[in-house]
Amino acid sequence: MARLTKKQARAEISRLREEITRHDHLYYAESNPEIPDADYDKLMRELVELERTYNLAAADSPSQRVAGEISEQFSPFTHRIPMMSIDNAVDEHETREFDRRIKRFLKTEEEIEYVLQPKFDGVSASLTYVDGELLHGATRGDGKTGEEITANVKTIRSVPLVLSGKNRKPRLVEIRGEVVFPQSLFSKLNEELRKLNEKLEKENETLLKEDKKPKPLKMLFKNPRNAASGSLRQLDSSVTARRPLHFYAWGVGGSEGMDFGDELVIYESLHKWGFSVEEPRNCRGIDEAIEYGKELEKKRKSLDYEIDGAVVKVRNRELQQMLGTTAKYPRWSVAIKFPPKQITTKVRDITVQVGRTGHLTPVAELEPVRISGIEIKRASLHTEDTVREKDVRVGDTVVVQRAGDVIPEVVEVVPSKGKREKPFSMQKTCPICKTPIEREGSFHLCPNTSCPAQIKGRISLFASRNAFDIEGLGAKKVSQLVNEGILRNIADIFTLRREQLLGLEGFAEKSTENLLEEIEKSRDISFERFINSLSIKHVGTRTAQALAQEFKTPESLIKATSEDLLCVDGVGEELVQSILKFFENPERKSVVEELLRHVRIEEEPEPPGENKEIAAKTFVLTGTLSLPREQVKREIERLGGRVLNSVSGKTDFLVSGTDPGAAKLKKARKLETDIITEEQLKKLMGL
């Protein structure tokens, strides 16, 4: 990587944080990933490297937290022990480096004993049992706080409602595992949903003729993991009960009243308590772990559930505690990632797609093939340079994989002795509006902001959940209204009239009224969501929030100078130029000004004053508190303090609840850190 100036590094770090945060939301909250795992891992590696090289790490960076989001549809549930992500090893070299790190940390040359288990590609969940009875079921969420899904979890037949067996049971235990959707039943589910949609479409034809609201169609699932996530997070648990979900237990979180000496003891206990488990392989040293990982990869095709790797854990729990964790990963575990599944097919055509920011993306149109039950018809080729580097041409036979077992991608061209079509070249004009295209680095760009494809993309983002959240104005409706010439920009949404919509396909009396009511409801909006709705290049939810806190009003943001913008946390030179360019464009500025005549920006609340007893102090929490940990953490941070996971020389206070962690107490005493009770913390807070 070329050496950057501090300013350039800040800009690149800001861009990467925005991009990773957006992909986290798509993957965990929407169950709709946009890029393969391999590409996500690459973004994260770039971010970690830049933050380390330029000493620009921040507590709110995606590199410092477990990925994931909590749906607002469910009640929050705080895990006693965080459900952390596992670091990835993409090859044998990285797996051996994991082993070397552990030996360096423990200052030993002896072989470490590991256990190895399949890495399930499902939905992680935590089940809390008290006195042997299931009381709570929760998703992983952000690792610390998940979604309460107890009613849904109880419908899964492989989840014991009461721990079975006569062996000893802990007073409280968090069982960690994965909810999966069997591959053998996945295609059957989508076929049932297709048939149901055909029936609904016929019913809707009748409803529309009678001027009644049509019934929504059912979404098909992309893959078994997506099906497991969608089934598990149903608001109606009877829907979950009809889905053939299966729970595999793979570990334990918090516990009281029982000591688990090592990972094999955990496995034996889980098995005796009635859980489905995949027996872990005991490995004496990293060589055995690597060999068994290769065996597991060969068995992958014969399994009825998806796995995308093998998890290696230090067997001894005392060693695990000594090794501890980073802000994001346990140091005692790593996931050996398997290469994605591949299949060959033919390239029928290479088309060009235009995005909302004007970027042109070549797309391979493929002869349909199925990988893991999913029909693959298209695969992004990213840029003209990528197409030429891989030398993909129309008519070629290519190797296709679902990268990260999710996103289709062309891996390589299968060599052929036959005559081939001419190499792909990006066209000179936009395929939609015929405007001459421009080059921007490795990307091609349509500079015409009035291009119908860009307008459709911007309006779709504007109406989406993180912006104005206009229900009923999805991509299909947006495309229809732009094609009809009714919508020309985002501000036109607020001047829509009944007579413009009535008579159009899909717009009967009731559906028209519903849409107009939704638009009316959306007029009140927070400033940060307003900023996020504008499709400013490189500005996502986190940057929108920072800009809203700094400038307070649209007028202040529009008038902001380069110097003003650089003062905003996380905003670098590239982002500054993007924002300035946006508001310097007369057409875009005019649309924003028109928009402001139709909406009401809610005032941002003033941040609370700092508490001098709390401000700039560092806290660590241990044991059970009377309030949820996340609530305590938010209150400390609201008053200007910081909450970290582990005790160090920089810790000011260890807040000790009931059943505190012995390791944290021991370290705090050794470092002479102040140990206080929850009641003492409340007094410091002034409560």
Question: Model confidence over 402-450: pLDDT tens digits?
Answer: 765 457 888 899 988 888 999 999 999 999 999 999 998 788 999 998 8
In Å, what is the CA distance from 526 to each residue of 47, 469, 552, 599? 30, 12, 10, 10
> Does 175 score more than 90 pLDDT?
yes
Question: Of 220, 204, 217, whose CA–CA distance to 505 is shortest?
Answer: 204
Half-sphere exposure of 666 (CA within 13 A, CB side): 5
Tell me which residues are annotated as active site. Answer: 119
| Higher pLDDT among residues 610 and 147, named by residue | 147
Q: What is the mean pLDDT of residues 33-47?
A: 77
Give the mean pLDDT of 265-291: 92
Q: Which band of pLDDT confidence, cut at 50, 70 and 90, is reported for residue 602?
A: confident
Section 157-165 average pLDDT? 86
Report the C-alpha gap between 582 and 534 in whole angstroms: 9
What pLDDT does residue 332 have? 95
DSSP-assigned states of every residue in 225-287: HHHHHHHHT-SSHHHHHTS--EEEEEEEEEEES----BHHHHHHHHHHTT-B-PPPEEEESHH
pLDDT of residue 64: 63
Q: Within 13 Å, how many C-alpha atoms sit on residue 140's CB side?
A: 23
Return the CATH number of the domain spanning residue range 342-445. Answer: 2.40.50.140
| Whole-number Cα distances in Å, 459 to 238, 467, 512, 563 | 36, 10, 18, 31
- Output the 3-class SS for 471-509: CCCCHHHHHHHHHCCCCCCHHHHHHCCHHHHCCCCCCCH
Q: What are 471-484's pLDDT values in tens digits?
A: 888 888 999 999 99
CATH C-level class of 88-183+227-337: alpha beta
Coil, strand or helix at 314 = strand
391: CB partners within 8 A, 6+ apart: 413, 423
26 by Cβ neighbours in 10 Å (0-12 / 13-18 / 19+) ranks as middle
- What does residue 673 show for φ and ψ, rounded to 5 degrees? -80, 140
Q: Which residues, at least 6 apart from 234, have a Cβ–Cβ distance to it below 8 Å?
A: 152, 240
Mean per-residue pLDDT over the chain, rounded: 85
Nearest residue to 248 (alpha-carbon basis) of 82, 116, 127, 130 = 127
Q: What is the pLDDT of residue 248?
A: 94
Q: Which helix (H) or strand (E) holds 677?
A: strand 674-677
DSSP 43-92: HHHHHHHHHHHTT---TTSGGGS------TTS-EEE-SS------EE-SH
Cα distances from 215 to residues 196, 199, 238, in angstroms, run: 11, 11, 19
DSSP class of residue 219?
P
> 76-108: per-residue pLDDT in tens?
899 999 898 898 898 899 999 999 999 999 999
Residue with tokens 């992909």: 23
> Is residue 401 pLDDT above 90, yes or no?
no
Residue type, 241: A
C-alpha closest to that of 619 among 606, 595, 638, 601 = 638
Say what the pLDDT of residue 45 is.
83
pLDDT over threshold 50, residue 29: no
Question: At residue 370, what are phi and psi to the nearest 5 degrees?
Answer: -115, 130
Residue 298: C-alpha distances to residues 301, 303, 664 (Å): 7, 10, 42
Selected residue with higher pLDDT from 367 and 5: 367
- Specify the residue for token string 């946006």: 582
What per-residue confidence (pLDDT) applies to 79? Answer: 92
* 610 vs 492, more confident: 492
pLDDT greater at residue 590 or residue 215: 590
Interval 459-472: pLDDT, tens: 999 998 778 989 88
User: Does position 262 have pLDDT exceeding 70, yes or no?
Assistant: yes
The overall longest dimension of the chain from CA atoms, in Å, is 81
Element (H, E) at 192: helix 183-209
Closest Cα to residue 298, out of 287, 289, 307, 286? 307
- Percent of the chain scoring above 90 in pLDDT: 34
Are 336 and 95 a contacting pair, CB within 8 Å? yes
Per-state percent for the chain, helix, strand, coil, to nearest 5? 40, 20, 40
Q: pLDDT (tens digit, 9 = 90+) per residue, 608-617?
A: 555 678 887 8
Pick 308 or 637 by higher pLDDT.
308
For position 251, what pLDDT does the model report? 94
* Mean pLDDT value of segment 524-533: 89
559 to each of 511, 541, 546, 574, how far by Cα in Å?
40, 21, 16, 18
Rounded to an integer, the average pLDDT of 505-511 is: 84
Those residues with Cβ within 8 angstroms of residue 296's Cβ, 6 or more apart along the chain or in another chain: 116, 118, 307, 310
Tell how far CA 479 is from the center of its chain.
27
Q: How far apart are CA 18 and CA 201, in angstroms?
A: 39
Predicted confidence (pLDDT) per residue in 345-394, tens digit: 999 999 999 988 888 999 999 999 877 667 889 998 988 999 998 999 99
Cβ contact 672:642 at 8 Å: no
The answer to whether domain 452-602 has CATH 2.30.110.10 is: no
Residues 560-586: what's their mean pLDDT?
Answer: 85
Contact at 8 Å (CB) between 223 and 27?
A: no
**Sheet order of strands, 113-120 included:** 88-89, 333-337, 307-314, 113-120, 281-284
Class of domain 618-685: alpha beta
Per-domain residue ranges for the chain?
6-64, 88-183+227-337, 184-224, 342-445, 452-602, 618-685
Three-class secondary structure of residue 598 per DSSP: coil
Q: Which of 89, 72, 62, 224 is nearest to 143 (CA)?
A: 62
Residue 32: pLDDT band with limits 50, 70, 90: low
Q: What is the pLDDT of residue 67?
A: 47
Per-residue exposure over 479-498, b if at least 16 CB sit within 10 Å of its own CB, e if not? bbbbeeebbebbbbbbebee
CB-based contacts of 615, cutoff 8 Å, min separation 6:
639, 640, 641
* pLDDT score for 210: 73
CATH topology (fold) of 6-64:
Helix Hairpins (1.10.287)
Residue 296 is predicted with a pLDDT of 92
Q: What is the pLDDT of residue 613?
A: 80
* In 276-338, alpha helices (H): 286-299, 317-323
Give the integer Cα–Cα distance in Å for 384 and 115: 45
Rounded CA-CA distance 15/441 in Å is: 16
DSSP secondary structure letters along 31-53:
S---S-HHHHHHHHHHHHHHHHH
Residues listed for the chain:
687
The pLDDT value recorded for residue 27 is: 62
